[in-house]
Amino acid sequence: DDLQALLRRRFPTLESSKATAGHWARTWAAAALAASCWFGWLRFDPLAVALLPVAQWLLAAHTVHEATHGALSSDPRVNFWAQFTAHPLFFNVFVWVPQHLVSHHQHTNDPARDVDLHHFAPARLARAQQKPVSAAPPQTAFNHAWTFLWKGCLTTVGTCFLQPMRTLLDKPTPTFDENLTPVPSAVSKRTLALSMVPSFIVLLYPPLALAASAAHVPVAAFLAAWLWPWVGASLIWTVMTQTSHVQRSTQPEDADGECWTARQIGTSLDYSTGDPLVTALTAGLNAQGLHHAMPSVASCHFPELYEEYAAICRKHGVEPRTSRNIGTASREMVEWLFDVNSGAEAESNELVEQAI
């Protein structure tokens, strides 16, 4: 009730909670930068290739996350088309919508219901997740945090290709009996296949250009244009998205007996919350608890809302999980991953389960 009162007071109209003029100005500037980098990528310009993942992220950060939550604009048509700035490098929108809005936002950090916890399998991202299977003694077992780290360099290959292809080919998710990342039933396979065309163009253009080119372009330039957009986008995507939930402090103790909103806040990590620049660069993911509690509000409003939001949380006994900045949050994430995937941690959890 207190959070709703805050929203009514700060945003008297629906439009006032959406993107501001400043947010739209930054969006168009990011779009221009991204377009410039894509044109340079077609010519294998080294600077354009190097900047491409960052430029595309800046555009997506100002559009796609807001749009999928209906937070960018009060016009649903704007939100629908703005979602596709996630293409071709970050994820397929039709796959993203059910797994993010339905699975992740409803059941954050619940291994039985949050699909996001299984993208880096067999690495564990949550304490309640099934421990890695290993015949080796706990002290010598392979730590699957390393699996997370190498998969983190290729996450967008999965979100742009592997996940939608499972729907197209009617294949289950590996190690599961069904496809955990389906598309909405209203999306036909033809529409899904068409949505993948831009990603396939980015994947196939450099090797085809290398095979057909008579120009004197170094092979290294072709390789950079082929590999770096995916690796660069994956690194950005992994750091931006995983630091907000894969933390020691965001593990729920009782998923059934807790207030839903309190659980959303308790399973999310915030950092640099009063900094408008960080908020713009991270798509508002730096105020993840606020976003999960009030997902229909555009992120450009987060810095001015955060202190009052946090005070309401504390008034009701809910302490927002915080870190100083994205650097400390990332370090804490990696430390937690190595702990939760260690043999000792797995053995300790097994003993607890047996005792219960």
Q: Is the pLDDT of residue 348 over 80?
A: no
Q: Is the pLDDT of residue 276 over 70?
A: yes
Tokens of 278: 């960080």
Residue 319 burial (CB count, 10 A): 11
Write out the DSSP string of 187-215.
S-HHHHHHHHHHHHHHHHHHHHHHHH--S
Which residue bears the tokens 């967008």?
156
Q: Is the pLDDT of residue 132 over 90?
A: no
pLDDT in tens, 89-126: 999 999 999 999 999 999 999 999 999 999 999 999 99
Task: Please say whether the dihedral angle defined by the alpha carbons of residues 320, 324, 326 and 329, taken in this order, is positive or negative.
Answer: negative
Q: Is the pLDDT of residue 249 over 70?
A: yes
Tokens of 198: 């831009």
CA atoms of 41 and 49, how far apart (whole Å): 5
CA atoms of 3 and 116, how far apart (whole Å): 27
pLDDT attached to residue 139: 58
* Phi then psi dihedrals of residue 171, to 5 deg: -110, 150
pLDDT attached to residue 343: 64
- Are 116 and 238 contacting, i.e. CB atoms less than 8 angstroms apart? no
Express as a percent the part of the chain with pLDDT over 70. 92
CA atoms of 25 and 173, how far apart (whole Å): 40
User: What is the average per-residue pLDDT within 153-170?
Assistant: 96
Residues forming beta bridges with residue 270, ordered by sequence position = 287, 322
* pLDDT classification of 210: cutoffs 50, 70, 90: confident
Length of the chain: 356
CA atoms of 236 and 94, how far apart (whole Å): 21
Residues forming beta bridges with residue 271, ordered by sequence position = 323
DSSP alpha helix (H) spans, the chain: 2-10, 21-42, 46-61, 64-68, 76-82, 93-97, 145-151, 155-157, 163-168, 189-212, 219-242, 260-266, 276-281, 288-293, 302-315, 326-340, 343-355
Write out the DSSP string of 91-106.
--HHHHHIIIIIIITT
Which pTM value belongs to this model?
0.91
- Are 118 and 102 contacting, i.e. CB atoms less than 8 angstroms apart? no
pLDDT in tens, 33-62: 999 999 999 999 999 999 999 999 999 999
CA 223 distance to own-chain centroid? 26
Which residue bears the tokens 């949505």?
195
